[in-house]
A and B are shown apart, each in its own frame.
Chain A
């Protein structure tokens, strides 16, 4: 059977930036694909093309059996989109927003209302449903936005960074909602900057950077690639970085990364907290002053460092991009 979402050689250029440089994607029915990458990697551009908001400069894509260029109208009937900015009207109530979306999917007055009530219930917004959205918290807006994408019960769903900017609690809540959703067989393409999020939600992960795929696999496969947990230590005196490296060498299960400027060391280990405790005792015994220490799980930084070796650059760009508010 053909994949439900299939993109071949997508290219999109803006004036002086190549947002997508030949991206291929294939997502089978009922599968959750995580599109993982830093800001500016091309995630939103890819979703925009698949959701018919943007036309690619080259390449083709089919979603739910329809061509995104030639049959855009059919695609729109079969997808739901929830973007990284909650695209709901803040002057309308939660109910009015969902009702309006239902009418625009041509569900008819009665069905649109029924569906709006159902979704408010499902997303725990019944009480807030009669209030204008501008009184909602960030998490509530995201839930409403997600509910908006589900109004027509589309077989294919695109969620563009559904939890970015949310506090940890709201994020976990939203993950729960998304998990319930995919349990019903929806095909989902999810973009995220967080490996943890892809790990929680995605069956299959495509890591992209500069508009092209740099890795593809399950969360476990990527983690194996990147390695497991590690100890991150920052010492007080720059002169002690080398001594600390020697001392921590006996715990390392791979190469130790050293950042001289930040006086930081990252040591891949296996064995978790007891190893950390022992390492701290050793540092203390050797009279090496420690400013900061912690046990870290692999992050997107680590995936990038491993895959491309240019994590710092990518994340600097991400920081620059996020300060001017574009994506």
Chain B
């Protein structure tokens, strides 16, 4: 069997195992889905009443940002799942089996798409209830959702790597917050990037989270009509820029993670 085929076949077996776990411990899923609802409501009503975006509704502006932030946060699950497997010793069993060395990681990142898919769906419904609308076609909107999912998939490889190097499950939440808060806040997620000061503005313009947010916002038709044309190339070409990042992240972190998995020693 060639490498990629066996990685996918074995990965599917691992993904099935992870899905069974979602069914057996539904509490996890409940919280995964409740927190995005909370985010939408908090931002829509707390910030929504005082933030004004030129010529548009803040709630409409906001939803793409929250979706982007949530799927990036969702990648933490990948790290937590792997760190748990490491701690419980089942990784040792997998590593003693004649299975693909990439399968555990492919299975994990693959099954975590389910979490992100569901949280995007729940948040979109919540958004619709509080007044968010898609102003374009269904196809455009689907491209927007696809960009969010793709980006979250790529980002889960970053967290897979983190999950394999941290000494315990407890560390991973703190470690991931250190990364995720800056990249999701210094962006155009909650405020227009143009309003940020100096260095932060440049960071936000080149931040891939901004690009995926911008891509989704444009695809949903939620860009405020009076908003200035973006000044930076990434935000002028958000779909392309996001795709470039997706490829780069996977190309860097997938091999790094597999290498770490091969060496993994019980913590």
Enumerate chain A interface residues (CB-CB to B < 8 A).
48, 51-54, 73, 76-77, 79, 81, 83, 85-92, 96, 100-101, 103-106, 132, 148
Contacts and interface: CB of A to CB of B under 8 A. Distances in A.
A48 B1 CA distance: 26
Contacts of A76: 96-98
Q: Which label, helix, strand, loop or mixed, suits the secondary structure of the B interface?
A: helix
Given A90-B88, A106-B1, 17 more contacts: A54-B265, A73-B98, A81-B96, A83-B92, A83-B93, A87-B93, A88-B90, A91-B21, A91-B24, A91-B25, A96-B17, A100-B13, A103-B10, A104-B98, A104-B103, A105-B98, A148-B93
Contacts of A89: 17, 21, 90
B105 to A, nearest CB: 14
A53 B95 contact: yes
A121 B94 CA distance: 24
A103 B97 CA distance: 10
Contacts of B17: 89, 92, 96, 100
Contacts of A148: 93
Nearest to B96: A81
B20 A96 contact: yes
Contacts of B1: 106
B89 interface: yes
Contacts of A96: 17, 20
Contact of A101 (B16, B21, B92, B93): B93
Interface string B96-110: 111100010000000
B96 A79 contact: yes
B21 A104 contact: no
Given A91-B25, A96-B20, A52 B89 contact: no
A85 B1 CA distance: 31
Contacts of A51: 96
Contacts of B25: 91
A46 to B, nearest CB: 14
A83 B89 contact: yes
B96 A53 contact: yes
Contacts of A103: 10, 13
Contact of A85 (B89, B94, B97): B89
A132 B24 CA distance: 9
A90 B24 CA distance: 10
A154 to B, nearest CB: 10
A85 B91 CA distance: 11
B101 to A, nearest CB: 9
A66 to B, nearest CB: 11
Nearest to A101: B97
B98 A92 contact: no
A83 B91 CA distance: 11
Contacts of B21: 89, 91-92
25 contacts: A48-B92, A51-B96, A53-B92, A76-B98, A79-B96, A81-B96, A83-B89, A83-B92, A85-B89, A87-B88, A87-B89, A87-B90, A87-B92, A87-B93, A88-B93, A89-B90, A91-B20, A92-B17, A92-B24, A101-B97, A104-B10, A104-B98, A106-B1, A106-B98, A106-B99
